[in-house]
C-alpha cells in the first residue's frame, strides 16, 4: 500500500510501493524498453501524474517551464528504461528521472538569472516560481533558500538529499532507486548535511532566515 509523507515543500508526496513484485507497471516498462509503442503510451498515462508532481515540487507551481520540463522528463524516462532492471518500482524510477530532469532545469534557470537573461521578455525572479501571496512569506523564502543551497552541491549529494527531504523517500527506497547500498546513501546524506551546515556557518543572514542557531 502506498504511503503518504511530507517532503517539506508544497503538497504531500505519495510514495509508491517499493517492491517490484507488487508493481503492476513492470511488464509495461519492460515492453516499453523493447520498443512497444502501445505499452509506452499506457505507461506514460500511469506515471505522468507523479512525474509532474515532482517537477512542480522542485520548480514551484508557478514556474513557466513546468510543462516543458515535465515533457523532457517523460522523454528522459523512455530513454532510461533500457537500463531499468526492476530494482525499485517503476514509479520510483520515473520519479527519480523526473527529479534529475527538474534539478537540471533549476540549475539552467538559475544560470540564466545570474547572467541577467530574460525569460519570455521578463527577467526571471525566483519569487515568480512561487504562488502569490505566498511568494512574499517567510516560509516560501525558506523553501527557496533550501532549493538554492541544494543547487550548489555535487549532483550525487543533491540527488540523495532531494529524494530524502523533498520527496520523502526512505534510505532503503533511495538505495533501491539509485542502485547503491543503504550505507552509501547514509554517507551521502551526511556529507550533504555537513556541506549545508558549512554554508550556513559562513552566511549568518542565511542561517537567521532558516532559524538555525549556532
Mean pLDDT of 197-212: 67
The predicted-structure confidence for 156-176, as pLDDT tens digits, reads as follows: 888 888 888 777 888 998 888
On whether residue 3 sits in a domain, the answer given is no
Cell of 6: 511530507
CA atoms within 13 A on the CB side of 15: 23
- Pick left, alpha or beta for residue 116 (phi over 0 → left; psi -120 to 50 → alpha; otherwise beta): left
**pLDDT higher than threshold 60 for residue 98:** yes
**pLDDT higher than threshold 80 for residue 36:** yes
The total domain count for the chain is 1
On whether residue 22 sits in a domain, the answer given is yes
Mean pLDDT of 107-112: 74
Could you tell me which residues are beta bridge partners of residue 13?
5
Q: How confident is the model at residue 138 (pLDDT cuts 50, 70, 90)?
A: very low
**Beta carbons within 8 Å of 46's beta carbon, 6+ residues apart:** 25, 28, 90, 91
Q: Which domain CATH number covers 131? A: 1.10.1740.10
**Beta carbons within 8 Å of 95's beta carbon, 6+ residues apart:** 50, 51, 54, 167, 177
- CA atoms of 194 and 185, how far apart (whole Å): 14
pLDDT at 104: 87
On whether residue 8 sits in a domain, the answer given is no
pLDDT above 90 coverage of the chain, percent = 30
On whether residue 2 sits in a domain, the answer given is no
**Beta carbons within 8 Å of 151's beta carbon, 6+ residues apart:** 103, 106, 107, 110, 158
* C-alpha Rg value of the chain to the nearest Å: 18
Give me the chain's average pLDDT, please: 75
- CA atoms of 160 and 181, how far apart (whole Å): 12
Residue 129's domain spans which residues?
Answer: 18-209
pLDDT at 152: 78
Cell of 180: 547503491
- CA atoms of 170 and 204, how far apart (whole Å): 31
- pTM, two decimal places: 0.65
- CA atoms of 176 and 195, how far apart (whole Å): 24
pLDDT at 64: 86
CA 177-85-157 angle, 5° bins: 25
Cell of 25: 507497471
CA atoms within 13 A on the CB side of 83: 10
On whether residue 1 sits in a domain, the answer given is no
On whether residue 203 sits in a domain, the answer given is yes
Amino acid at each position: 500500500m502506498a504511503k503518504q509523507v511530507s517532503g517539506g515543500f508544497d503538497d504531500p508526496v505519495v510514495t509508491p510501493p517499493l517492491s517490484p513484485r507488487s508493481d503492476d507497471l513492470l511488464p509495461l516498462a519492460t515492453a516499453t524498453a523493447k520498443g512497444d509503442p502501445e505499452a509506452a503510451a499506457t505507461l506514460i498515462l500511469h506515471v505522468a501524474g507523479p512525474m509532474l508532481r515532482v517537477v512542480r515540487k522542485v520548480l514551484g507551481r508557478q514556474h513557466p517551464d513546468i510543462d516543458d520540463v515535465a515533457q523532457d522528463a517523460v522523454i528522459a524516462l523512455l530513454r532510461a528504461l533500457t537500463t531499468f532492471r526492476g530494482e525499485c518500482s517503476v514509479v520510483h524510477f520515473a520519479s527519480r528521472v523526473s527529479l534529475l530532469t527538474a534539478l537540471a532545469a533549476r540549475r539552467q534557470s538559475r544560470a540564466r538569472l545570474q547572467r541577467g537573461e530574460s525569460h519570455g521578455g521578463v527577467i526571471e525572479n525566483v519569487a515568480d516560481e512561487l504562488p502569490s501571496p505566498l511568494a512574499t512569506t517567510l516560509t516560501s523564502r525558506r523553501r527557496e533558500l533550501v532549493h538554492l543551497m541544494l543547487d550548489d552541491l555535487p549532483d550525487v549529494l543533491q540527488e540523495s538529499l532531494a529524494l530524502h527531504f523533498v520527496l520523502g523517500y526512505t534510505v532503503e527506497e533511495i538505495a533501491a532507486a539509485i542502485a547503491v547500498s543503504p550505507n552509501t546513501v547514509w554517507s551521502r546524506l551526511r556529507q550533504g548535511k555537513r556541506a549545508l551546515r558549512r554554508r550556513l556557518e559562513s552566511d549568518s543572514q542565511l542561517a537567521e532566515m532558516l532559524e538555525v542557531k549556532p
